[in-house]
Amino acid sequence: MNSPTQPIAGHAIQVLFVTSEMHPLIKTGGLADVSAALPAALGALGVNCRVLMPAYPGLIEAVGAELILDGLAPFAWGPRCRVLSGQVPNSEVPIYLLDAPELYHRPGGPYQDDSGFDWPDNALRFGLLSRVAAQLCVGQSALQWRPQVLHANDWQSGLAAAYLKLNPSNAVRSVFSVHNLAFQGNFSPDWMPRLDLPWSLFAPEGLEFHNWLSFIKSGLYYSDRLTTVSPSYAKEIQTPELGLGLDGLLRHRHESLSGILNGINPNEWDPAADPHIAQPYDQDRLDDKAANRKALSQQLGLNVADDFLLLGMVSRMTYQKGSDLVLDALPELLRRPLACVVLGSGDTELEQRWREWAARRPDRIAVHIGYNEALAHQIEAGSDAFLMPSRFEPCGLNQMYSMRYGTPPIVRRTGGLVDSVTDASPSALASSTATGVVFDTASPAALVSAVDRTRALYEQPDLWRGLQITGMGQEFSWTRSAVAYLELYRTLIPDPSTA
Ligand code: ADP
Ligand code: GLC
């Protein structure tokens, strides 16, 4: 039997990985990081993994794509489209771009316009992506390559599994990965005929969810295997608290559901070779981290004494991420010797509250509303500790970046945060396994206590350095995750060597 880490010469598994975003081409969150890293890591294991995503503005040029399929008419009505083939920049991953200019060539984001409103035709935009993914798999196109596994991600490609099921000759197996159950892609049932979906599928045992046509439910119901991005979240979504109405279905499917923790890109997030930061450093040159703290404070106009704890935060400003918990805790937190650097965007009200605090306390609170890759790296390197008080967190990437940067994360005990951060309990500190501070309750008071606990550690330089060094030595590579996905694919595909 082949070892899962060894490429299988001549028997590469063929996988079509369908996604709606990919770093550095287009990104709204962690799905983009995963879509960049996982196909490449699978490729390194010998899997022939190709990506399919929409041709948003500029992408055709960015990947040097050439036309391979023209004049496709995936639906009985509606737009024609074409498929172009290219290569992901700085990688060997082949990428197919689905081009339908009237659907994807728009200013704004992949899901919303510039004002933050969902595109009104998202059902069509991502129904088309799902439909074409299924057609490429079952040979309903002139594409020579045939995948064995269709790996779809989140609601945007959830319908692909339903389209596969509708094809009786289909031998392709499907995997559906949930990156966030809170985004469900629920639309009016009027879309059923327009998306060529028979009404027989609009049932509780199918696509119907509280009288909506649910794209995520399609993925959860019709896919052969389900994954989510951490073992803890895989358990949590089977409970009423975090199952968001889909927990019954997920409990029913528990034997097909597993949690595979995401990795991080160690080249992109490497404090020893990060082009965005003022001073590179590593475990052996940890004192050099201080230059990044100084540069960050100066750049943002903060007045941070050496003994102050500089807290960093980079995230979408939403209920999920607990941005409001930090805001509510600020009056209490500011009684302590600490300062905050916050980068993010999201809910207008939360953005406004952050702006107001920054205006009120410019010496202690710096806020940058917007998306800024370089600043995200500078905050990871320049902060003393990193705040991630998420109410729920399927995996979370920033806590892993923080550990790699010697910036211990303060996280709530949920989802992937549980699976990646070890609380600085006395026993974990004694055994040098602690990597951060974990707290339980989603309340401002619990957050303040966690920050106090962090400050107490920070005031003990030897303990603090131990926490930093243990975090920096954690293994969060994509190889480990890719091996787990490869094992999953192998359970779906007969081993050609035994045929
Ligand atoms: P989610 O996908 O739920 O937003 P993750 O932690 O998985 O959370 O991934 C978020 C990713 O987006 C990380 O790579 C993070 O650094 C990045 N990110 C989030 N907000 C910003 C921002 N305002 N500027 C730059 N990067 C950001
Ligand atoms: C989602 C989740 C986040 C996860 C990311 C990538 O956006 O909110 O926790 O890390 O997907 O899987």
CATH number for the domain including 40? 3.40.50.2000
How would you classify the pairing of strands 309-317 and 338-346? parallel
211 with 350, same domain: the answer is no
Q: Which of 398, 403, 411, 421 to mutate to test the pocket of ligand 1 (most atoms within 8 A of CB)?
A: 398
How would you classify the pairing of strands 186-187 and 212-214? antiparallel
Q: Residue 116 — pLDDT band, cuts 50, 70, 90?
A: confident
420 with 488, same domain: the answer is no
Question: What is the number of the ligand closest to the CA of 156?
Answer: 2
Quote the ligand 2 centre to 365 CA distance (angstroms). 27
437 with 404, same domain: the answer is yes
* pLDDT above 60 (res 10): no
Neighbouring CB atoms inside 10 A of 320's CB total 18
Q: Residue 4 — pLDDT band, cuts 50, 70, 90?
A: very low
Residue 314 CB–ligand 1 contact under 6 Å: yes
Report how far residue 220's alpha carbon sits from residue 226's, in angstroms, rounded to the nearest whole number.
7
Quote the ligand 2 centre to 209 CA distance (angstroms). 23
176 with 230, same domain: the answer is yes
Kindly report the average pLDDT of the chain as a whole number: 95
Per the domain annotation, does 4 fall within a domain?
no
Q: Residue 77 — pLDDT band, cuts 50, 70, 90?
A: confident
Quote the ligand 2 centre to 393 CA distance (angstroms). 7
288 with 249, same domain: the answer is no
Question: In this structure, what token pair is assigned to residue 327?
Answer: 């805001």
361 closest CA partner among 314, 304, 321? 304
119 closest CA partner among 129, 131, 135, 106? 106
Residue 346 CB–ligand 2 contact under 6 Å: no
324 with 251, same domain: the answer is no
The predicted pLDDT at position 496 comes to: 57
Per the domain annotation, does 31 fall within a domain?
yes
Least confident of 51-60, 73-82, 210-219, 432-441: 73-82
Report how far residue 366's alpha carbon sits from residue 110's, in angstroms, rounded to the nearest whole number.
29
Q: Are 318 and 354 in contact (CB under 8 A)?
A: no
Task: Provide the 3-class DSSP secondary structure of residue 275.
Answer: coil
Per the domain annotation, does 69 fall within a domain?
yes
For every residue of 392-419, DSSP letters joined together read --SS-SHHHHHHHTT--EEEESSHHHHH
Neighbouring CB atoms inside 10 A of 489's CB total 20
Residue 316 CB–ligand 1 contact under 6 Å: yes
Per the domain annotation, does 80 fall within a domain?
yes
> What residue's CA is closest to ligand 2, atom 1?
179
Question: What is the number of the ligand closest to the CA of 388?
Answer: 1
Per the domain annotation, does 460 fall within a domain?
yes
Task: Provide the 3-class DSSP secondary structure of residue 151.
Answer: strand
166 closest CA partner among 197, 137, 144, 139? 197
Question: What is the number of the ligand closest to the CA of 182?
Answer: 2
Residue 457 CB–ligand 1 contact under 6 Å: no
> What residue's CA is closest to ligand 1, atom 20?
315
> What residue's CA is closest to ligand 2, atom 11?
179
455 with 483, same domain: the answer is no
| Angle of the 348-360 helix axis to the 323-333 helix axis, nearest 10 | 20
121 with 194, same domain: the answer is yes
The predicted pLDDT at position 170 comes to: 81
355-410 pLDDT, tens digit each: 999 999 999 999 999 999 999 999 999 999 999 999 999 999 999 999 999 999 99
> What residue's CA is closest to ligand 2, atom 12?
179
Q: Residue 47 — pLDDT band, cuts 50, 70, 90?
A: very high
The residue type of 224 is D
The predicted pLDDT at position 169 comes to: 79
Residue 46 CB–ligand 2 contact under 6 Å: no
40 with 113, same domain: the answer is yes
Output the CA–CA distances (angstroms, integers) from residue 102 to 57, 125, 308, in the order listed: 11, 10, 52
Q: Which of 17, 181, 237, 397 to mutate to test the pocket of ligand 2 (most atoms within 8 A of CB)?
A: 397
Q: How many domains does the chain have?
A: 2
Angle among Cα 30, 32, 34 to the nearest 5 degrees reads: 70
Quote the ligand 1 centre to 346 CA distance (angstroms). 11
62 closest CA partner among 81, 30, 88? 88
414 with 485, same domain: the answer is no
Q: Give me the domain span that covers residue 213.
A: 14-263+479-498
Per the domain annotation, does 272 fall within a domain?
no
Per the domain annotation, does 467 fall within a domain?
yes
Report how far residue 374's alpha carbon sits from residue 377's, in angstroms, rounded to the nearest whole number.
5
367 with 401, same domain: the answer is yes
401 with 485, same domain: the answer is no
The predicted pLDDT at position 386 comes to: 98
Per the domain annotation, does 330 fall within a domain?
yes
